[in-house]
Amino acid sequence: MSFTSALAYFLGGYTALVIALFMLSTVVPVAAFAARTLAAYISLVICASYGALVSIVLRILGREQSAQWAAGRAFKYAMALTTGITFEVIDPKRHLETIRPAVFISNHQTELDVLMLGCMFPKYCSVTAKKALKNVPFLGWFMSLSGTIFIDRKNSKDAREAMAGAAAEIQRRQQSVYMFPEGTRSYAKDPELLPFKKGAFHLAVQAGVPIVPIVVANYSHILYIKDRVFKSGKIPVKVLDPIPTTGLKIEDVEELTRSTRELMLKEMVALTEKAQRRPVAVPATSGDGVVHASGADATLS
């Protein structure tokens, strides 16, 4: 059997299984969780493979800065078709199109944030990621080819050099960077933010570019892994006004981090109230919401 035939059989069987699970979900609701999970994974693999090929072509053409945008848009449409989920971007001032370069930041909830990036990822932008992802088949290949900045969280020296290199790249190529300052997924049922790490803010100050906060409503009514909830629907994402960093110094980073987190948390609560159609209280924050540590963990997002 040829590779093409084997691939066709695999995709045919995979599709049949997903459809069967969707049909079963009318009787057994948890089957919808399995169906959308399988649909999301195959969509990610296909789009990451497409992204790797596109990255090679764009690199040859000298336009690799748009590779992650192109792959993200493909994933957006694939997920809308296979799972019925999309993110509705609220950007009335068109900051995503007009602000460049910048450090874009947002809250980080679950693996579904990959789709969020696909729906709103700006052109001429790249992400940062932990070094371990570099070796993940398909996704890691695409990220490597499309200019992702990989950072070793366990090595403070390498981390600082990577951040300095990112700042230089921003200035040299007018390339924006997208980061998650919480540093990990929250998996929260209610709107909340983990303490922010200061890496994104150090990077923005060092490069002399604005920070553009992007706030995603809590979407536990769409995806909540603990309860095996995975439904179709639209999730609002709001792009806030850019925060200038011109004239700021290293000693200003902590207050910049704290104030930005506070702004994003309030907006997250407001967005969640609209998305879930229920009142939501602003969660209490222990301390000032900023990670106070040394080494890579204090620096990186």
pLDDT digits (tens, 9 = 90+) for 44-91: 999 988 988 988 888 888 787 788 899 999 999 999 999 999 999 999
DSSP string of the chain, one letter each residue:
--HHHHHHHHHHHHHHHHHHHHHHTTTSTHHHHHHHHHHHHHHHHHHHHHHHHHHHHHHHTT-GGGHHHHHHHHHHHHHHHHT-EEEEEE-TT-HHHH--S-EEEE---STTHHHHHHHHPPSSEEEEEEGGGGGSTTHHHHHHHTT-EEE-TT-HHHHHHHHHHHHHHHHHHT-EEEE-TT-S----SSS--PPBPSHHHHHHHHHT--EEEEEE---TTTEEGGGTEE--EEEEEEEPPPB--TT--GGGHHHHHHHHHHHHHHHHHHHHHHHHTS--PPPP-STTSB---SSHHHH--
pLDDT, tens digit, 9 for 90 and up, residues 193-224:
999 999 899 999 999 999 999 999 999 999 99
Across 50-54, 121-125, 130-134, 209-213, least confident range? 130-134
CB 108 within 8 A of CB 188: no
- What is the distance between the alpha carbons of residues 105 and 261, in angstroms, rounded to a whole number? 10
Mean pLDDT highest for which of 23-32, 51-60, 172-181? Answer: 23-32
Strands 223-224 and 229-230: antiparallel
**Cα 224 to Cα 261: distance, rounded to the nearest angstrom:** 23
pLDDT at 145 over 80: no
Share of the chain above pLDDT 70, in %: 92
Q: What is the pLDDT of residue 297?
A: 46
Whose structure tokens read 């704290």? 258
**In the chain, % of residues over pLDDT 90:** 62
Give the pLDDT confidence score for residue 157 in this predicted structure.
60
Dist. CA 228–CA 254, nearest whole Å = 38
- In three state form, how does the secondary structure of 194-247 look? CCECCHHHHHHHHHCCCEEEEEECCCCCCEEHHHCEECCEEEEEEECCCECCCC
